[in-house]
Amino acid sequence: MNERPAPAIPNTDVLVVGSVNEDHFQFVHTFPRPGETVAALASRRGLGGKGANQAVAAARAGADVRFLAKVGADAAAADALVVLRAAGVRTDAVADEAGYATGSAAIAVDASGENWVIVDAGANARLTPSDIDAEFDSHGAPLVVLTQGETPAASLEQAARRARQAGARFVLNLAPVLDVPSEVLNNCDPLIVNEHEAQAVASNLGLAPGGATELVAELASVSRSVVITLGAAGSVAAAGGEVWSAPGFPVDGVVDTTGAGDAFVGSLCARLALGEDLPAAMTWASAAASLSVERPGAAESYAAAVEVEGRLAQSGAIA
């Protein structure tokens, strides 16, 4: 596999290309069965979308973050921008798309903190390869380019292409799983998926099914590096013929698991951009994700860097 070209002088640590949603939460004791109506214990709304969540997580982990996205000209967009800017995310590349509403998600959270989610892409679907080109042409190369499966496929592919041309590190959180070209997967460093997504990607590639350790090694034959997240058990990764794992962290009660995976992904990219190697970045990201599940919501549940450092120190992961 070819080495990455030398990067140009970066304009930012992390460029996140992705989605913005207004999340509508309903907290319930148990999820309804088909045809059943249940009463909500409480409800709330907040910032969501994998791109927005991961941008906030990366900024809270200490990176300089620029966000490229599409929103509607509506109150949901205005609210989203307030939260993004408060977290330190640069939002001048978040553009209004006339005639479309900001993306939205309906989220139910049960008493154990588990969730189900229904997403309406809205303006997110209007992010185009031309938008990617305009960003790179105007602002140059970041250290890390991060995108997700919620990004339109053509734009995801263009982000990978422009990252490679600029010498930036390309990270893909393939959630949800899309059937992307092999040249996109070849450039991922890392490809980040959970166990179910890893199985789906392996199936798309005609690879043998298996457990996380077997799958991560198989997928690393296609991508530069691969991380498979394992929830409370941490994560496992492979690169250059090596396989290793990072631990999960004990939590003080699970309140809401919504966005925990995004906390992991955004934090990991920030720590890579700040110079940590992949194993160290994975450990940091696991600590950040563990703090997020102790609080309600997605982006608003993400901890500041000092809190993550405290958890790492408490666990003995850092001195």
Tell me the mean pLDDT in the region 93-101: 95
**Residue found by looking up tokens 């997110």 in the block:** 124
Give the closest residue to 56 by CA, choosing from 276, 270, 282, 228.
270
pTM exceeds cut of 0.85: yes
Question: Residue 50's Cα: distance from chain center in Å?
Answer: 5
Burial class (CB in 10 A: 0-12, 13-18, 19+), 319: exposed
> Residue 5: pLDDT band by 50, 70, 90 thresholds?
very low
The DSSP symbol for 297 reads S
State yes or no: pLDDT of 210 exceeds 50: yes
Give the closest residue to 21 by CA, choosing from 63, 69, 89, 85.
69
Give the closest residue to 57 by CA, choosing from 14, 107, 114.
14
Tell me the mean pLDDT in the region 102-114: 90
Tell me the mean pLDDT in the region 125-153: 96
- Sign of the torsion angle spanned by Cα atoms 67, 71, 74, 79: negative
> Residue 6: pLDDT band by 50, 70, 90 thresholds?
very low
In this structure, the dihedral spanned by the alpha carbons of residues 169, 170, 173 and 178, taken in order and rounded to 10 degrees, is -170
* Known catalytic residue at 96: no
**Residue found by looking up tokens 């799983």 in the block:** 177
Report how far residue 224's alpha carbon sits from residue 291's, in angstroms, rounded to the nearest whole number: 29
Tell me the mean pLDDT in the region 160-175: 97
Tell me the mean pLDDT in the region 58-69: 97
- Sign of the torsion angle spanned by Cα atoms 165, 166, 171, 176: negative
What is the model's pLDDT at position 17?
A: 98
> Residue 318: pLDDT band by 50, 70, 90 thresholds?
low
Write down the mean pLDDT value for the chain.
92
Cβ-based neighbour number of residue 281 at 10 Å:
25
Give the closest residue to 30 by CA, choosing from 113, 87, 153.
113
In this structure, the dihedral spanned by the alpha carbons of residues 302, 305, 310 and 312, taken in order and rounded to 10 degrees, is 90
Instruction: Indicate which residue of 110, 189, 262, 277 is catalytic.
Output: 262
Tell me the mean pLDDT in the region 51-80: 97
Instruction: Dump pLDDT digits (tens) for 143-157.
Output: 999 999 999 999 999
State yes or no: pLDDT of 1 exceeds 50: no
Percent of residues, the chain, with pLDDT higher than 90: 79
Domains and CATH numbers, the chain: 14-20+50-102+127-313 (3.40.1190.20)
Report how far residue 56's alpha carbon sits from residue 305's, in angstroms, rounded to the nearest whole number: 12
Instruction: Give the amino acid at 144.
Output: V
State yes or no: pLDDT of 2 exceeds 50: no
What is the model's pLDDT at position 297?
A: 77
